[in-house]
A and B are shown apart, each in its own frame.
Chain A
């Protein structure tokens, strides 16, 4: 199945550093979402973006919906240990059936170095 291109694949940072990751697609989406997944658990929604060009914040997280509707960016400021995990972007588009299935990126694994 289709997977969105997400980069970087992994990041090793020190606590307190800022983090940036992005996601690109060959297709247009009308919603972009960012999820975080901890080992052995399901993805948890962090931020949802509904309009091209939209910039949305949730605490230390900031995400942007690209103008072309084919990309999105996530920034995490002042990272803390609980930020460790895998971050997934997801694009959402309404199909002919009204299905709002998600197309996920390949993930960015964030590790904090002591």
Chain B
């Protein structure tokens, strides 16, 4: 399978604990995106990497959230001191390096569903 993979698929944690999710993009895709989707809503942009550089962060990404993409391959999203409001599906997407003018297709992974008790 050469699609975007995410692990774990499900995570249940207690409030106040730290959690880390992993995303493996499609091989050779330079761009990697994280989105968050709450129940009944569409996905919302969190942050974006071009290779290993994190170039933009949404205001939705509080100080408790940190994302990395070492070596420009897989990415991790860590949430510290989780809160019940963090419960959501966390989606990762990747796309090829954009040509000026853009429009590259983003391919999504299956997501990690986080439940904070």
User: A: which residues have CB within 8 A of B?
Assistant: 1, 3-4, 6, 30-31, 33, 35, 40-45, 48, 50, 88, 90, 92, 94-95, 97-107
How far apart sit A3 and B45, CA to CA, in the bound complex (Å)? 10
Q: Which of A40, A99, A104, A106 contacts B48 (CB 8 A)?
A: A99
B interface residues with partner A (beta carbon < 8 Å): 4, 6, 31, 33, 35, 40-45, 48, 50, 55-56, 58-60, 91, 93, 95, 98, 101-111, 113
Contacts of B95 in A (CB 8 A): 100
Contact of A42 among B45, B58, B104, B109 (CB under 8 A): B109
Please state if A100 and B102 are interface contacts (CB–CB under 8 Å): yes
Among candidates B43, B44, B91, B98, residue contacting A100 with C-beta atoms closer than 8 Å? B98
Docked Cα-Cα span, A40 to B6, in Å, equals 13
Contact between B42 and A105, CB atoms less than 8 A apart: yes
Extra contacts, 12 of them, besides A6-B42, A31-B103, A99-B48 (Cβ < 8 A), are A1-B45, A3-B41, A42-B91, A42-B93, A44-B108, A45-B107, A48-B105, A92-B102, A94-B102, A98-B50, A99-B56, A101-B45
